[in-house]
Structure 1
């Protein structure tokens, strides 16, 4: 008899309220399905600078991502499901799509860091919805509402 496949959920976390809502949703779903959660925190260094050509501190981007990921792991600690994850230097949508290959579900927040206030669906969640090879759930912070 073949072993049952474990339900695998990939969730993107950047430290924003929508991404933490997505994390909590993913943890609860994994608990209900006896599944596992893989947390991905991705960052990339923007190719921008000020008028003098100075750009933001490259290391600060990585450090912020590592801190957000550590907090996500801390919050996931008592969920009672297996949790793995990592921090990746890559465009967030690209990193999430790669991590979600072979996953049963990809969960993202509706809008994380860098979103425009009026947008209902951020660029990362939009890319996930349009390009993932598994179901995608977009979680909005605050009301526990989801779009999929």
Structure 2
């Protein structure tokens, strides 16, 4: 729970279809629990996700900012307290740190990196193994 005693859901967003599915799930769950969502977008030099490279900006921070803003526009967050945080760190480390006081950590099954044939990406695998709170891995098409 956060400092106010509200159910806190941390969700990682990198602009991938999987992370947007995770965001939708997290917002729906927060609405049901009258909770809050902390949206984390991690960036580092050089940017690895193709959406960051293709964003038209050479500045990784501004590209990550755009990814997060686009994600927030793509979800109906009416009635849900949602805060976006940009973190200059590896995605897994940023999510694990952000979820230290969370009730739930929600991630997409895969991000932009790695091998397309894997069922679970490296970030989702790392947080599933090391988070201090329950972790939900969402695949696109999963019902909420």
1:47–1:69 Cα change, 3 Å: closer
State the alpha-carbon separation in 2 of the partners of residues 78 and 26 from structure 1: 10
Q: CA deviation at 1:75?
A: 3.0
Q: CA deviation at 1:63?
A: 2.8
Question: What residue number does 2:24 align with?
Answer: 24
User: RMSD value over aligned CA atoms?
Assistant: 2.4
Unaligned runs of 5+ in 2: none
In the alignment, structure 1 residue 67 sits paired with structure 2 residue 83: no
Verify the 8 A CA contact 2:36 2:80 in the aligned structure 1. Answer: yes
Question: What residue number does 2:142 align with?
Answer: 144
Question: What residue number does 2:41 align with?
Answer: 41
1:82-134: CA deviations, max 9, x gaps?
00121111100000000001100000000011131111000000011000000
In the alignment, structure 1 residue 79 sits paired with structure 2 residue 70: no
Deviates more, 1:6-15 or 1:66-75: 66-75
> For the pair shown, which has the larger CA radius of gyration, 1 or 2?
1
Q: CA deviation at 1:70?
A: 0.8
Verify the 8 A CA contact 1:139 1:145 in the aligned structure 2. Answer: no
Q: CA deviation at 1:62?
A: 2.6
Q: CA deviation at 1:65?
A: 1.2
1:136–1:114 Cα change, 3 Å: same
Verify the 8 A CA contact 1:27 1:79 in the aligned structure 2. Answer: no
Verify the 8 A CA contact 2:46 2:60 in the aligned structure 1. Answer: no
Deviates more, 1:62-71 or 1:12-21: 62-71
Runs of 4+ with deviation above 4 angstroms: none
1:18–1:113 Cα change, 3 Å: same
Q: What is the total number of aligned residue pairs between the two structures?
A: 135
